[in-house]
């Protein structure tokens, strides 16, 4: 399927243009929060008054994507989210607890469901077509992509709005700190050089307009394959490579033809060893990139990776901030994205740039 347009709200200035941001956030923290646009330019200010933050992020990214694709009535809306509207769920449960099982306001409950973002987009667009939400932890966004691919396979003329969204709440940070998941505050651009356990938390909202037919442009990014698989915790590099080889063979992709690799390295010294092995051995002759130092770690960070990869594909040089090592190609025509969550949930997305 082709990516006609994308919209991204992230810890970088990705909402300002369709290209790679000119300025990169460089902060010392254990969390990367989204740089949010002026929502009044994208969403009716009357609706914004009681809208929770995650819905604002989701609607804004969807609106950016819709405006850039010039398609206001998609044939389907699919959202992937690992945590859903966690902050509103917390508010609703605390309200029930503090008021002796009575609810003082129904809004936190309405906005606490996982499908709230997809539903709000549908209501905003007055769209009554296919609408679904997937909550599969680290596979949430990839599952949304697979669903979109099946819909487009049935009818290539369809245009599907698919996205991934997750927010980071204080309670989520606090609870996962007991698992030693986070690093002490550090500069985000030094994430993978720290060589310590843990990572930094992140969040984001990314949406894509997908279709079986390309846009009327000189070139278009094509999603050739999406694959997910589970392993035991801390799998051997050989096991990961076997799965990657199987995926490539199933899609008739030769390893020697791959030009760029985008890895989900998050700075955790215990988890990045698999990435390092792939980079130094199987993909030693490729342009290797990484991205979580720009967005942090969250369940649907692969949506950020897909947006970044689609931006740099074609006749565009790879930004230095993405390079794990000096680029082997001046520009890239294909990219393989490999990400893992908690060392057990693994995903692959293969993109090519089709010149029309």
CB 200 within 8 A of CB 296: yes
* Contact between residue 112 and residue 92 where contact means Cβ atoms under 8 Å apart: yes
Which whole-number Å values give the CA distances from 41 to 56, 203, 302, 312, in the listed order? 12, 22, 27, 27
CA pseudo-torsion sign 284, 287, 224, 143: positive
Q: What are phi and psi of 162, to 5 degrees?
A: -125, 145
Residue bearing tokens 């604002």? 56
Q: Provide the pLDDT for residue 100.
A: 86
Backbone angles phi, psi at 350, to 5 degrees: -115, 125
Residue 237, Cβ density class (10 Å: 0-12 exposed, 13-18 middle, ≥19 buried): middle
CATH architecture of 223-355: 3-Layer(aba) Sandwich (3.40)
Task: Report the C-alpha gap between 315 and 308 in whole angstroms.
Answer: 14
Which pLDDT score is estimated for 305? 98
pLDDT in tens, the chain (356 residues): 999 999 999 999 999 888 999 999 999 999 999 999 999 999 999 888 888 899 999 999 999 999 999 899 999 999 999 998 888 888 888 888 888 888 777 777 888 888 999 999 999 999 999 999 999 999 999 999 999 999 999 999 999 999 999 999 888 888 888 888 999 999 999 999 988 999 999 999 999 999 999 987 778 999 999 999 999 999 999 999 999 999 999 999 999 999 999 999 999 999 999 999 999 999 988 999 999 999 999 999 999 999 999 999 977 889 999 999 877 777 899 999 999 999 999 999 999 998 76
Residue 331: CB atoms within 10 Å? 16
Structure tokens at 121: 């987009």
Compute the chain's Rg from CA coordinates: 20
> Where along the chain do its domains lie?
2-211, 223-355
Whole-number Å distance between alpha carbons of 356 and 351: 15
Q: What share of the chain is helix, strand, coil (3-state, %, to 5)?
A: 35, 25, 40
Closest CA to 76 of 18, 131, 17: 131
Q: How far is residue 311's CA from residue 13's CA, in Å, rounded to a whole number?
A: 14
Q: What is the pLDDT of residue 216?
A: 73
Give the span between the Cα atoms of 184 and 269, in whole angstroms: 14
**pLDDT of the residue at 353:** 92
Q: Domain 2-211, what fold?
A: Peroxisomal Thiolase; Chain A, domain 1 (3.40.47)
Return the closest-CA partner of residue 337 out of 244, 250, 257. Answer: 244
Q: How far apart are CA 14 and CA 308, in angstroms?
A: 9
The answer to whether domain 2-211 and domain 223-355 are alike in fold is yes
Q: Which residue has the tokens 């770690």?
A: 297
What the block records as the tokens of 77 is 């809306």
**What are the DSSP E strand ranges found in 231-344?**
260-263, 287-290, 334-341
């Amino acid at each position: 399927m082709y990516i006609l347009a994308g919209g991204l709200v992230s810890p970088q200035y990705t909402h300002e243009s369709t290209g790679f941001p000119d300025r990169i956030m460089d902060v010392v923290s254990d969390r990367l929060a989204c740089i949010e646009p002026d929502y009044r330019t994208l969403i009716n200010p009357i609706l914004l008054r009681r809208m929770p933050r995650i819905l604002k992020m989701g609607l804004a990214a969807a609106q950016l994507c819709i405006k850039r694709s010039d398609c206001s009535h998609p044939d389907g809306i699919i959202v992937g989210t690992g945590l859903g509207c966690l902050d509103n769920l917390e508010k609703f449960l605390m309200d029930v607890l503090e008021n002796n099982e009575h609810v003082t306001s129904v809004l936190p409950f309405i906005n606490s469901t996982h499908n709230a973002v997809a539903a709000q987009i549908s209501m905003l667009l007055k769209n009554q077509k296919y609408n679904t939400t997937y909550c599969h932890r680290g596979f949430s966004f990839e599952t949304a992509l697979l669903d979109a691919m099946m819909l487009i396979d049935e009818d290539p003329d369809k245009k599907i709005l698919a996205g991934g969204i997750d927010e980071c709440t204080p309670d989520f940070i606090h609870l996962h700190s007991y698992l030693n998941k986070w690093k002490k505050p550090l500069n985000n651009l030094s994430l993978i050089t720290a060589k310590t356990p843990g990572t930094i938390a992140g969040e984001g909202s990314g949406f894509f307009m997908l279709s079986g037919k390309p846009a009327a442009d000189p070139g278009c990014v094509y999603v050739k394959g999406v694959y997910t698989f589970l392993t035991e915790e801390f799998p051997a590099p050989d096991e990961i490579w076997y799965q990657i080889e199987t995926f490539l063979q199933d899609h008739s992709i030769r390893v020697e033809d791959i030009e760029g690799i985008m890895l989900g390295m998050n700075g955790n010294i215990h988890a990045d060893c698999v990435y390092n092995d792939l980079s130094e051995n199987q993909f030693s002759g490729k342009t290797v990139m990484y991205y979580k130092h720009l967005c942090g770690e969250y369940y649907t960070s692969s949506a950020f990776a897909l947006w970044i990869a689609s931006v740099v594909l074609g006749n565009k040089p790879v930004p230095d901030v993405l390079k794990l090592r000096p680029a082997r190609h001046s520009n890239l025509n294909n990219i393989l994205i490999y990400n893992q969550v908690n060392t057990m949930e693994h995903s692959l997305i293969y993109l090519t740039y089709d010149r029309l």
